[in-house]
């Protein structure tokens, strides 16, 4: 029973964060998507559509899907993509909404970097820099991962320095 109460309180807290928006122009945020459990391709396609239906969000672009080997993780290969989202949500509010989608997809977090049904990470949020216990923007490891940089470059080449792409060129990242 206590676990159920904690879960309800956590959802309520996320909903409050998501609703804390100010009247302002939309910000372009880039979101990385990944999955390596279940029907990963169907899950990523569902997640892209679901992101576009989030309150305060409009999907403006999405990359192709890419197959990559796990990095600092285990399990089957991952499928990855990146989405561009126009949002009026705050960065923490967007994070809360994305975490709700992860939960809907059955995401569990038994240990760090565990295989997952769905992983959604905010890579960039306009030109903002965020450093909190819950969120770091720009994503701290995005420049080290081909599975992030290659799909991001596909939809927003201006967001990816050529040196970063060159640095991850040896990492296998197969476009589907």
Q: What residue spans of the chain are helical by DSSP H?
A: 2-19, 40-53, 91-104, 146-155, 162-167
* 114 pLDDT tier (thresholds 50, 70, 90): low
Residue ranges making up the domain that contains 114: 2-175
Task: Say whether 109 sits in a helix, a strand or coil.
Answer: coil
Catalytic-role residue among 53, 119, 127, 145? 119
User: Closest Cα to residue 57, out of 83, 33, 31, 89?
Assistant: 89
**What pLDDT digit, counting tens, does each position of 40-99 carry?**
999 999 999 999 999 999 999 999 999 998 877 778 999 999 999 999 999 999 999 999
Which residue in this structure is represented by tokens 């899907």? 65
Which CATH number do you get for residue 109?
3.30.70.560
Instruction: Give the closest residue to 30 by CA, choosing from 87, 84, 99.
Output: 84
Check pLDDT > 80 for residue 19: no
Residue 129 has what pLDDT? Answer: 95
Burial 78-97 (b: 16+ CB within 10 A, else e): bbbbbbbbbbbbbbbbbbbb
Q: Is 23 a catalytic residue?
A: no
- Quick one: what percent of the chain has pLDDT higher than 90? 76
Answering whether pTM is above 0.75, one says yes
158 a catalytic residue: no
Q: Among residues 39, 72, 77, 107, which one is catalytic?
A: 107
Task: Provide the token pair at 100.
Answer: 């709700």
How many Å is the maximal CA-CA distance in the chain?
52
Structure token pair of residue 18: 């998501």
Residue 141 pLDDT greater than 60, yes or no: yes
Amino acid 25: pLDDT: 85
Domain total of the chain: 1
- Would you call 107 a catalytic residue per the annotation? yes
């Amino acid at each position: 029973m206590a676990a159920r109460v904690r879960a309800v309180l956590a959802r309520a807290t996320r909903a409050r964060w998501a609703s804390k928006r100010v009247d302002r122009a939309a910000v372009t945020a880039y979101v990385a998507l990944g999955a390596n459990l279940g029907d990963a391709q169907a899950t990523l396609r569902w997640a892209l559509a679901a992101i576009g239906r989030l309150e305060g969000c409009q999907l403006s672009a999405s990359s192709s899907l890419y197959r990559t080997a796990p990095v600092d993780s285990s399990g089957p290969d991952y499928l990855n993509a990146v989405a561009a989202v126009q949002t009026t949500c705050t960065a923490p509010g967007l994070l809360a909404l994305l975490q709700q989608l992860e939960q809907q997809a059955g995401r569990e977090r038994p240990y760090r970097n565990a295989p997952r049904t769905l992983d959604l990470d905010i890579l960039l949020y306009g030109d903002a820099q965020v450093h909190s216990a819950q969120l770091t923007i720009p994503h701290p490891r995005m420049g080290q991962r081909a599975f992030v940089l290659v799909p991001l470059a596909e939809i927003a080449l201006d967001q990816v320095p050529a040196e970063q792409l060159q640095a991850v060129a040896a990492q296998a990242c197969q476009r589907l």
